[in-house]
A and B are shown apart, each in its own frame.
Chain A
Amino acid sequence: MTAVTATREPAVTSDRAVAENSLGRRLVLPAVLLMLIVTAYPMLRALYLSLFRYRLTTPDDRAFVGLSNYTHVLTDSLFWKDMGNTVLIMVITVGVELVIGFAFAMVMHRIVFARGAIRTAILIPYGIITVVSAFAWQFTFSLNNGYVNSWFSWLPGISADTNWFGGHWTAMFAIMVSEIWKTTPFMSLLLLAGLSQVSEDMLEAAKVDGATWWQRFYKVILPNMRAAIMVAVLFRALDAFRIFDNIFVMTKGAQNTESSSFLTYRQVIEQFQLGMGSALSVLLFLSVLLLAWGIVKLFNVDLAAARGEG
């Protein structure tokens, strides 16, 4: 939506063009309808409900309150704390994934043996159910059943009694590890695709000109991968911003590890606060739009154009 810039539409003149136009529209119609039923109506409904004080278990207490749900949410410390957690998780996980993903992509790009094996290995975390990943890492960091404390007890601050889910930062760390583990493969595959687009000739030329490894990386590889990096960052950042499954399984939001999605879920589903929860839903949606817009602007690539005109 944000990536749209006004461009030429095909001029509908000839009969053939008219027929093509109508066929095209008919072919996309079912997909468009399906996407809209599940998103547009519920979003409008959330917008409407967000103007009410309305709780499912006290239906008599329903009243129109205007924008006060929004003002309550926006002035509430919990909302901002959770937003802070979400942004922190997003920035750290995407940042770490970019670095590790790049390293992985380099290895996969260079490697001449066992390409199938490495592809298989890297696709397993990608394909695995997030809930399963969350369990695997929860058990890894578990005080009674995990191996982290015994394997890493030589590190300062880690002992047999280190209770990872007992403190804010350690619990956040565990959540981020699960998130990073599961999604780095996706990142590295996208980066690998970008890497294969960088012309070897240009790299060779830069080498001949005496560019160091770092200069080649910075001046040749990165600029040529801008689109790939942006796609990777965009999709991963939005994904990380919506983080829910890992938190649900690992901490249920304890130790202030709650994300914005989790907060919204709790208001709507656990507390039946349809009014307040809808306001949060709308705000979450707006944050995602804003974030997407920001990333697209930052990289200055027209995604829809890349796909549409091809």
Chain B
Amino acid sequence: MNRTKVGTGVGFAVILVWCLLPIVWILSLSFKPVQETTTGSPHFLPQTWTLQNYKDVLNNSDFTRALLNSTGIALIATALAVIFATLAAYAIARLEFRGKRLVLSLALAIAMFPVVSLVGPLFDLWRTFHLFNTWPGLIIPYMSFTLPLAIWTLSAFFREIPWEMEQAAQVDGATSWQAFRKVIVPLAAPGVFTAAILTFFFAWNEFVLAISLTSTTSARTVPAQLSFFVGSDEFNPPYSQLATASVVVTIPIVVLVLLFQRKIVAGLTSGAVKG
């Protein structure tokens, strides 16, 4: 018994170190002066601490523009994907209709799709429709690729909702709209919210399409901008500034995780629990 407890305690520590060490590392790098990383600095912690990198990165208009693009594109894609997924998931969880399995299989296939296979033709297509290097040009594929996850998660949540309560409320004299709003919405909201967070993570993280379907700062998102990061001279990747930019773009993730860890875990595992 005691041995298990000790094991769990050690495991706890290992997990924390495992998960947080690289985060602490980029944090530490972000406080190192650029000169220190250019000449080489194998120390874990900065020799001298500086906030200059944060000033530089936040004054870098390409980077802030990319932040704006990422935020806008991810939020819009998330909102739309969740709306469409809610409709579809409701149908899948609640209604009997032909082709339901086909829809689910399609979603599964899309979730597995090698995105790289698409970039060539998609590039041509987007050029024709003037979607290349625009927000919608990224929002549309992000919606498509997050729909499977969102449908998956939402249909699992929706199936758990006791829909009889809706009828019970109607029997008690509520209109069907009231019944839906007062009974169903509060029950469904956590699921929708969870799906939204997972969708947001995907859109925030996506890289292949972001580098292939954009060409200027008007639509380039953060991951693409990071990989094209230009430092003060063309031959030295500014390690510490890259780390700083990395820290900045990780902050929203950490905030979301801190606020909603329970929901995210529920959402991630909803697909696996049943089965």
A residues at B contact (CB < 8 Å)? 1-4, 7, 9-10, 12, 17, 20-25, 27-28, 30-32, 34-39, 41-43, 45-46, 49, 103-104, 106-108, 110-111, 114, 116-133, 135-137, 139-140, 142-147, 149-150, 160, 181, 184-186, 189-190, 192-194, 196-197, 227-228, 230-232, 235, 238, 241-242, 244-245, 248-249, 261, 264-265, 268-269, 274, 277-278, 281-282, 284-285, 288-289, 292, 301, 303-304, 306-308, 310
Contacts and interface: CB of A to CB of B under 8 A. Distances in A.
Contacts of B110: 35, 39
A4 B101 contact: yes
Interface residues of chain B: helix, strand, loop or mixed (majority):
helix
A118 B42 CA distance: 30
A140 B21 CA distance: 10
Contacts of B116: 242, 244, 261, 264-265, 268, 281, 284
Given A1-B105, A32-B106, A304-B108, A288 B113 contact: yes
Contacts of B97: 10, 20-25, 28
B163 to A, nearest CB: 13
Given A28-B91, A124-B20, A144-B39, 8 more contacts: A1-B105, A120-B261, A124-B254, A127-B253, A129-B253, A132-B226, A133-B22, A232-B272
Contacts of B256: 127
Interface in B13-54: 14-16, 18-20, 22-23, 25-26, 29, 37, 39-44
Interface string B219-244: 00011001100000000000100110
A301 B88 contact: no
B135 interface: no
Contact of A37 (B14, B26, B40, B144): B144
Contacts of A231: 271-272, 275
B58 interface: no
A27 B91 contact: yes
29 contacts: A7-B101, A10-B96, A21-B95, A23-B95, A31-B84, A39-B110, A39-B113, A39-B118, A42-B120, A103-B11, A111-B12, A119-B261, A124-B253, A126-B201, A126-B268, A128-B253, A129-B205, A132-B26, A144-B41, A189-B269, A190-B272, A193-B273, A245-B207, A248-B227, A261-B114, A277-B120, A278-B121, A284-B117, A285-B117
Contact of A274 (B19, B44, B90, B120): B120
Given A278-B121, A285-B117, A292-B112, A307 B239 contact: no
Interface stretch (B145-153, B171-179, B181-189): B145-153
A131 B226 contact: yes
B192 interface: no
Given A49-B121, A124-B19, A3 B112 contact: no
B208 interface: yes
A176 to B, nearest CB: 14
Nearest to B269: A193
A7 B226 CA distance: 48
A45 to B, nearest CB: 4
Given A4-B101, A10-B97, A41 B108 contact: no
A146 B190 CA distance: 42
B134 interface: no
Given A24-B100, A132-B249, A269-B119, A45 B105 contact: no
A190 B155 contact: no
Contacts of A265: 116, 119, 208, 212
Nearest to A17: B96
B90 A42 contact: no
Contact of A238 (B95, B112, B121): B112
A25 B148 contact: no
A301 B98 CA distance: 23
A185 to B, nearest CB: 7
A268 B208 CA distance: 12
Given A46-B117, A120-B261, A145 B41 contact: yes
Nearest to A226: B275
A38 B272 contact: no
B269 A242 contact: no
B161 to A, nearest CB: 12
A120 B106 contact: no
Contacts of A122: 15, 19
Contact of A121 (B20, B107, B226, B249): B20
B57 interface: no
Contact of B273 (A23, A45, A228, A235): A228
Contacts of B26: 132, 135-136, 139
Given A20-B95, A110-B4, A238-B112, A28 B103 contact: yes
A27 B158 CA distance: 15
A289 B84 CA distance: 26
A32 to B, nearest CB: 6
B125 A41 contact: yes
